[in-house]
Amino acid sequence: MTFPDFSRLSATALAAKVDGGNVSPLDSINASLARAREAGAGRESLNLILWSNEQLARRDAASLAEGMNRAGKGGRLAGIPIAVKDNLATLGLPTTCASKILAGYVSPYEATAVARLREEGAIVVAKTNMDEFAMGSSTENSAYGPARNPIDLRRVPGGSSGGSAGAVAAGIVPLALGSETGGSVRQPAAFCGVVGVKPTYGRVSRFGLVAFASSLDQIGPIARNVDDAALALEIISGVDPNDSTCSSRKVDTYRDEFLPLATSAEPLDGMTIGVPEEYFPEMLDPGIRALCERSIDLLKSLGAKVVDVKMPNTALAIPVYYIIAPAEASSNLARFDGVRYGARAETAALRDMYAETRSKGFGDEVTRRILLGTYVLSAGYYDAYYRKAQSVRGLITRDFRDAFGRGIDALFTPTTPTTAFAIGALTDPYEMYMSDIFTVTANLAGVPAMSLPIGRVGGLPVGGQIIASHFCESTMFRVAYALEAALGGEAHQ
């Protein structure tokens, strides 16, 4: 059976068609499911989707259509198919974190972010592939095999939210949810040529997100354009009694802040954009540098004042991150022991069961980070490593505070130092970790950041990163929307 092709429509455009009665929710969902089957077929499967429940999605579409017939309208995302990263709890679909240790696990509750999208009419069609327990930058560390980049099947889609970014880029869904600990939404968004957002820490509830590093983790949307990303973030943001770290601060209506400026000749008039020199090192790909310089020139033409800034502690971000994140992971992942849920080794002795379950259940990268985290938290090393890393984290946060305190409204940087690399190309863990060199700082400081497409190098997408001060997502979206509009088709060339 042939279904209509909605693969290039934005979420807001498709929702308007559904709400206006031009497209039925079932047609929207069937088209998405058909696209997912196509992407997963053949020898060169993209392997973006881990779990799909077509029957459940169609049931939800029929229920939505019935409700719309009674009420006369749907929610802001009525009939929109969405994909959800496999570390976000969902009702009716497995939540395995792409790990053998959680094989077959189905959550009895749902993540707040997922539930809020459902309340606006969105329909979950799939759970996406990821690096196991979100530990990776390529979606190669999955118990279910590596995902592929829809732009070039020989290359990675980035990670750890590579499945979600790839699903949007492949036209399977217009909107997906990913999670961030050190750049796992923004980096794959850059590699796949889509928009990815990391909100301020505490802006979005983490309830239902399987914990990796609790002081760094955040849920963020991945979309085809800035407008969709802003709408999705607005929907999933806000206080949640189930998450004590979630802020009660009022959520802005992000789109109301930038959409009225769309017709302005200088939509960034009065704004100051900082360009940190530490994010433009000699090792930066020359093609990426050139595209960033073009974007900076566009920001100036849009009315913004662009100034150079210094972020002196940027170089310390990777070593600090790879002490703090594994330390928190070693604690969080202690709960996966074969006793309460997930896989269990068939061994009589309790201690042997623990050891065998975890040895067989965790992959190499997860094991590496648990061991590293346990080491830096152990007696005699805590002060030398973990406590010192937390102190340096404070210095990195101060860099951002100082920049924004001097009248800088937002920062512009490249999202990644290279374009998407080939599957299997980076075997040295350190080289893999360095692919997040421009993104981990925002996680350590807790500030909002996003990536949007700014062009291509050798046919591969390049992302530009916009960073704002705490809870200033409106400012971030204003800059991103203006730049996206100015780039137009050039962002995909």
Would you please indicate which residues are annotated as catalytic (active-site) residues?
85, 160, 184
Residue type, 92: G
Integer Rg of the chain from CA = 21
Q: 308 pairs with which residues across the strands?
A: 275
Q: Are the CB atoms for 255 and 231 separated by under 8 Å?
A: yes
State the alpha helices, DSSP H only, in 333-386: 350-361, 364-377
- CA-nearest of 451, 447, 480 to 273 is 480
As to burial, measured by CB atoms within 10 angstroms (0-12 exposed, 13-18 middle, 19+ buried), residue 377 is: middle
Element housing 390 (H / E): helix 388-405
As to burial, measured by CB atoms within 10 angstroms (0-12 exposed, 13-18 middle, 19+ buried), residue 108 is: exposed
Return d(Cα 362, Cα 210) in angstroms, integer. Answer: 15
Residue type, 278: E
Question: Six-digit token pair at 372?
Answer: 């590293």
Q: Are the CB atoms for 171 and 138 separated by under 8 Å?
A: no
Distances (CA, A) of 331 to 213, 320, 327: 9, 17, 7
- CA-nearest of 143, 147, 167 to 157 is 147
